[in-house]
Amino acid sequence: MKFPAAFLALCFTLHAAGVWAGYGENPDDPAAHQAAVNALPRAESRALVVETRAIQGLSSTVVATSMPLEQALQALNALVVGQVIEVALSSDVLFDFDADQLKPEAEPSLQAVLAVLNNSDVARVEIIGHTDAKGTEAYNQDLSLRRAHAVQAWLTRNGVDGALIQTEGRGESQPVAPNQLPDGRDNPEGRAKNRRVEIRVHTRKPA
């Protein structure tokens, strides 16, 4: 018998919150029922990331991780301004040189972003790709958009509603540091800062 992923996720969350510990297997046990009610606020306070994977075509397993909102914001060095949470992820962490495929090393940062989204009342999410000034403007514009799309795809695969996400590529047009030194020489440190993916989470109430 197969169970819906959402049901399994709820079971996992309640178990993680300590709902079922010590109450046996009887779903009609009044003590277990009251414990579930009392534990729901604890369950809701955690970011739940649910991923379902088919196992030999027979069943699904639920993988869940939790991270408190404040911990996620700190890990991302996020800037919170009113109802907007701003995050800048280094493209050097997310992608290999000149590539738009996410690296395994990107996982911790993306999981932290996911925790922020799961712990917030999200109205919409902007994902904006940026590059340095190496290469042509047209190429950098395309690369920045492809990288924004890659982050969007990861988030939607991990449960974020794609209808909430807007993606944009701005290429080399909005640097946050000089690509060149005052004497005209290359500025690798500045270019590294410009290679980034910005995520702006617009919430319905202050974070």
117 and 191 share one domain: yes
73 and 18 share one domain: no
26 and 106 share one domain: no
pLDDT in tens, 76-108: 999 999 999 999 999 999 999 999 999 999 999
For the chain, how many structural domains are there in total?
A: 2
Instruction: Give CA 156 to chain center in angstroms.
Output: 9
pLDDT in tens, 170-199: 999 999 999 999 999 999 999 999 999 999
Instruction: Show Cβ contacts of residue 163 under 8 Å, excluding neighbours closer than 6 positions.
Output: none
Domain CATH number, residue 97: 3.30.1330.60
48 and 89 share one domain: no
pLDDT in tens, 109-158: 999 999 999 999 999 999 999 999 999 999 999 999 999 999 999 999 99
The per-residue pLDDT for 146 is 98
The residue that leads in pLDDT, 74 or 11, is 74
Domain boundary among 18, 44, 63: 63
Residue of 73, 81, 45 lying closest to 202 (CA atoms): 81
Domain that residue 100 falls in: 69-203
Tell me the pTM: 0.70
83 and 41 share one domain: no
